[in-house]
Structure 1
Amino acid sequence: MRSTHAEQLAAEVSDAELAAKVKAALDQDPELAKLHLKVTNKKGDITIDGTMTDDQQMLKAGEITQNVPGVKNVLNNMMMTK
């Protein structure tokens, strides 16, 4: 079954909305907000990109993200700053 252009646009909007909800949830934590993390979403699969200063920030970001309704999977690409 083929998706119509309208269905694809609706999926993109909801992808963007979920990414925005995750970003807002991460930014509620003052420590994570300072990291300016980038959040992307593809059908409930969230990817977090950015840098961290300790492993606990990565763990916290993953836990917060997983608790946002609509998130299916989390790929945490945060890297340690040098």
Structure 2
Amino acid sequence: MEAADVALAKQVKTALDQDPDLAKLNLLVTNKKGDITIDGTMTDDQQMVRTGEIAQNVPGVKNILNNMMMAK
């Protein structure tokens, strides 16, 4: 993974962790050339929506693949 990819993934993770509701989910964020992938579990659908909104607002993000699953 390129340094720029790692840096953008960290920026998205930092932005997500600034939301107290999302920070507690401990989401995994990866990036390849602006294509962000988010993995983790959620407790309600609004967390997935909010995650996408926050990630999309980070400069450099082109696409988001949200792999969040509902916690059992």
- The TM-score normalised by the length of structure 1 is 0.86
Q: Aligned partners of 1:35 and 1:24: how far apart in 2?
A: 13
State yes or no: 1:23 paired with 2:46: no
Kindly tell me the number of residue pairs found equivalent between the two proteins: 72
SS of the aligned residue for 2:2 comes to helix
Identity %: 76
Determine helix, strand or coil for the equivalent of 2:64.
strand
- Gaps spanning 5+ residues in structure 2: where? none
Pick the structure with more helix per residue: 1
Read off the aligned partner of 2:54 and give its amino acid letter: I
Give unpaired runs (5+ residues) of structure 1.
1-10
Deviations 1:27-74 (A, max 9, x none): 000000000000000000000000000000000000000000000000
4+ aligned runs moved over 4 Å, structure 1 = none
Deviation for aligned residue 1:23: 0.1
